[in-house]
Structure 1
Amino acid sequence: MTAPPEPPVAPAVPIASAQGRWILLTTVLGSSMALLDSTVVNVALPRIGLDLGADLAVLQWTVNAYLLTLAGLILVGGALGDRFGRRRIFVLGVVWFAVGSLLCGIAPNAGTLVAARALQGIGGALLTPGSLALIQGSIRAEDRGRAVGLWSGLGGVGAAVGPFLGGWLVDGPGWRWVFLLNVPLAALCVPVALRHVPESRDPHAQGRFDIAGSVLGAAALALLTYALIEARSAAAPVIGAAVGGLLLAGAFVQVERRRAEPMMPPAIFSSRLFTAVNVVTLFVYAALGGFFFLVVLQLQVVSGYSALAAGAALLPTTALMLLLSARSGELGERIGPRIPLTVGPLLCAAGMLLMLRVGPEASYVRDVLPALVVMGLGLVTLVAPLTATVLASVDPGRAGVASGINNAAARVAGLLAVAALPLLSGMGPEAYRSAAEFDAAFGRAMPWCAGALAAGAAVAWATVRSPAPGACHPQCQTHCAVTAPPLERPRAAGSPEGRDLD
């Protein structure tokens, strides 16, 4: 695949024009596929396990196979779009994601489902960075802020209704439609993109892709994830996977240090603030990844909720993020990031500890709702300032790389948490089939999650000293996804926030 030489063309599509609205529709449809997948699949896990006769490890892999390929390739996906055409790679990602979703929907057994989820993750790595890049590469500079605001707001609505929609599908036509729903969305998105979205590239993108870094990083994650999920057996393959994963992780670091154009440039970690905020990200999103994997199981297996009720139960958290995240960003600009990045994780930790009250026949109003409201307020407090601090900690020209690394770090944290938390909490392979056993393990897991959040708060309080980010506030001010911070791009040329890729 080679990019034909062509002079850079400044984007000039007004958002108020018919073409501008088509571009917005395309990007919202594409990003909604990935956002919905990150929220609806967890709701379907108990039914998937029962239908396919799967143990807990299969449910872990159903989540982690997707996160593994997505986290390992999301930085490459953005670079491919800049080099070979953002629309081309975005459309390829949508088609790939739809094919993976179709295979998930018709999977006859657990092995096929896990493999199809890994394919879905590859598609997600191609379309996720491309969604926002299409706006940056097509919409004229003076309209770009409004376009990004509409994109993030509409995407936030999609993320908020995801658990409700997933529960309705599981209880209605069946869990397979959680995946099959992506096929008609893709069938609408692709022709609109091809007809109405202009192609754009980064004329400055050159050099070789960091294929070696991508392969080593993904392979290391795969081996470590396998070792954590299968650690109960303590067999030779598990030990070998753990050792191999650590060796490959070390090789990944060495390759990134020696490459002229690494996927994850080590020099960016010379910023102590950037490094510190990514450590906070690892702690926070490990806790969130583990929590949202377990909570829908707890509500269905232990409290007797239907899939629809369990999905709807999570709405307050995402609704609070949808309504208040922009104001949180403004507050972070005024008072600086240290307090929000300390208080936010502590509020989330308090919410998780409140979830210890959720047991058999739990009352939603008395037991579930207070915990989720406290958690939602914590997420509102921390997400926008975290993203803003990441962007403020590096040179504006590296904003896209910094955001991509932070987004990937969050997904890796969630991946490892889903693999490790059942082990740490003593959750057996058949635990989700027994209400009493799962309830006891859930009670042991929540303190682990709260502890990770407290550690993140301590790191933030001890290391974050910069003033308010000011001009480096995030573009995606409305953000509802709980699997990773919003993926940001460099700003428009001539704006105070930085430069555009074009």
Structure 2
Amino acid sequence: MLRLPPWLPAAYRCCEDSASGVAARKRAMSRISGTSEAALAAACGAPSVRRALASLSLCMLLPALGTSIANVALPTFTQAFGASFGAVQWVVLAYLLANTTLIVGAGRLGDLLGRRRLLLIGLVLFTVASLLCAAAPTLALLIAARAVQGVGAALLMALGMALVGETVPKKQAGRAMGLLGTTSAIGTALGPSLGGLLIAAFGWPALFLLSAALGLPALWLAWRYLPASRPASDKDRPGFDLPGTLLLAATLAAYALAMTLGRGRFGLLNAALLLGAALGLALFLWVQARSASPLVRLARLRDPVLGAGLALSVLVSAVVMATLVVGPFYLAGALGLASAAVGLVMSAGPVLSALAGVPSGRLVDRLGARRMSMAGLLGMAAGCVALCLVPAAWGVAGYVLAIAMLTPGYALFQAANNTAVMNDVPAEQRGVISGLLNLSRNLGLVTGASVMGSVFAFGSGALDLGAAPPQALTAGLRATFGVAAVLLVAALGIAAAKLAHRRPGARCGA
């Protein structure tokens, strides 16, 4: 435990609200050799740490809510704008594409220009874009405003996680990651139900007015309590890799569209987009290898902790997406639940994940990130096996029981994996690594929606899932989570290899 002189806690708290707070804090810190500001603030019990974490939590809540709350409004948009489903789905796709394609570049810009500064810009963008969405008179303007909102969400997701290292001491990083995971899960869980209530009571603009209302306190808390970033001077600052950023954005856009267009049917357009994504990736790697200031240092990806962490995030997110894609069909078609009951059962997973987030972070801090990562994967694998076997015998109770095994395991894995990856990242690379970590999650979700949906359709043997008999849907459920269990076994192998290669005290090398 950090031992402090008796005068220091009071002096530290007094200087928080003073105009010369930063300078006074520096003078206080100079009396204690080798103590970081985050550790000092935590040891002194400074309220600013808690408020800074509150601002980061809101920064994770807003993007999750922005994703989940709009899906429920798609039927309303078709009526409000007199448009087809193919047109209104771009309200969701524009946000997803902007978020996914720009998240790594957003993290890198934060490293170069200051993470706090870029986070504040992201909050302003997200809040203003939310107001523009609410006031949009046409579908085209709504889609454009959603794309801007997605840009803001990319900044929030990449830099919110990166700022944890500047806000709390390393030994409490697991709790902070667990808290951010909890708020993200709350946003995912609340979105559909809250969106439905707001549309019924006030109309669809209320969805975006809520996001704007939450953005304002997040902006004030971040401006007031987040630690000031110290970007490199112009002389020492490396250049921003614009060609690499544009190439990566185009590659990710092609891949995301290949996985989402066609509504479950993989046609020539999907194949062409997938080929374009593969060529774009090859060109991106070639450019990065020859760039003086690359967006992503390829040598860093060979680090066993980082490389394994990103791969695990993709696999685990694909498995989690299977519950969101397959669950509604099985609950409605095989178990005969009404729409309201389906929504209630589907909310169990995000709610359990939210409840498990903070306790998971405490376990990570106490028992270690690598050990808890393995434990989370084992819990998820047990949940997948249970989904293959239990619901057919126990009905809804069996389904909820299996989800109650899978989702807390996911919360534990997320807190552990995020902590393991981010703890050993040098300060000047936190933004881009956080962006890569969020990108791996997004890619897993996008891939899981397409691939696991196809496995479900193939396993059921039905051309029309909406009219498939209960036996066919049960067979599809078993096939899907059988494949998910295999993926998690592979993830356990990767995690075990990461554990074997990890050197005590090793840091993510450049």
RMSD: 4.6
How far did 1:183 drift? Answer: 0.6
User: 2:182 corresponds to which residue?
Assistant: 156
2:338 to 304, 318, 338: 304
C-alpha deviations, 1:216-240, integer Å up to 9, x for none?
1221222233334345777664443
User: 1:85 corresponds to which residue?
Assistant: 114
2:239 is aligned with 1:208 = yes
User: 1:221 corresponds to which residue?
Assistant: 252
1:376 to 400, 404, 407: 407
TM-score normalised according to structure 1 size: 0.72
User: 1:247 corresponds to which residue?
Assistant: 279
How far did 1:93 drift? Answer: 0.5
1:183, 1:30 → 2: CA distance?
12
How far did 1:371 drift? Answer: 2.5
- Equivalence map 1:339-378=2 (5 Å): 339-340=374-375, 343-353=378-388, 357=392, 364=396, 366-378=397-409
How far did 1:77 drift? Answer: 1.8
Change (3 A) 1:260 1:180: same
Question: Are the equivalent residues in 1 in contact too, given 2:383–2:404 (CA < 8 A)?
Answer: no
Question: Are the equivalent residues in 2 in contact too, given 1:325–1:384 (CA < 8 A)?
Answer: yes
User: 2:436 corresponds to which residue?
Assistant: 405
User: 2:311 corresponds to which residue?
Assistant: 279
Percent of aligned positions with the same letter in both sequences?
24
Aligned partner letter, 1:226: L
C-alpha deviations, 1:270-313, integer Å up to 9, x for none?
23454344333222212223432553576579632328635643
Aligned partner letter, 2:228: E
User: 1:199 corresponds to which residue?
Assistant: 228
The runs of 5 or more residues in structure 1 that have no matched partner are: 1-6, 473-495
C-alpha deviations, 1:186-224, integer Å up to 9, x for none?
123334444555632233772111222222122122223
Q: Secondary structure at the residue paired with 2:239?
A: coil
1:217, 1:465 → 2: CA distance?
29
Change (3 A) 1:448 1:400: same
Bigger mean CA deviation after superposition, 334-343 or 158-167: 334-343
Q: Secondary structure at the residue paired with 1:465?
A: helix
- Equivalence map 1:20-39=2 (5 Å): 20=49, 22-39=51-68
User: 1:484 corresponds to which residue?
Assistant: none
Change (3 A) 1:145 1:296: farther
Question: Are the equivalent residues in 1 in contact too, given 2:175–2:360 (CA < 8 A)?
Answer: no
Question: Are the equivalent residues in 1 in contact too, given 2:372–2:412 (CA < 8 A)?
Answer: no
Question: Are the equivalent residues in 1 in contact too, given 2:374–2:495 (CA < 8 A)?
Answer: no
Question: Are the equivalent residues in 1 in contact too, given 2:173–2:423 (CA < 8 A)?
Answer: no
How far did 1:353 drift? Answer: 3.3
Change (3 A) 1:119 1:442: farther
C-alpha deviations, 1:42-63, integer Å up to 9, x for none?
5656766787777776687555
1:408, 1:146 → 2: CA distance?
24
How far did 1:266 drift? Answer: 1.2
User: 1:267 corresponds to which residue?
Assistant: 299
TM-score normalised according to structure 2 size: 0.72
How far did 1:96 drift? Answer: 1.4
1:71 to 100, 103, 118: 100
User: 1:169 corresponds to which residue?
Assistant: 195
User: 1:295 corresponds to which residue?
Assistant: 327
Aligned length: 460
User: 1:179 corresponds to which residue?
Assistant: 208
How far did 1:118 drift? Answer: 3.0
Change (3 A) 1:194 1:233: closer
1:313 to 348, 351, 354: 348
Question: Are the equivalent residues in 1 in contact too, given 2:174–2:419 (CA < 8 A)?
Answer: no
2:133 is aligned with 1:101 = no
How far did 1:182 drift? Answer: 0.7
2:365, 2:387 → 1: CA distance?
26
Change (3 A) 1:40 1:438: farther
User: 1:460 corresponds to which residue?
Assistant: 492
1:357, 1:58 → 2: CA distance?
38
Q: Which has the larger radius of gyration?
A: 2
2:123, 2:151 → 1: CA distance?
10
Question: Are the equivalent residues in 1 in contact too, given 2:304–2:498 (CA < 8 A)?
Answer: no
How far did 1:135 drift? Answer: 5.6
How far did 1:25 drift? Answer: 3.8
Larger helix percent: 2
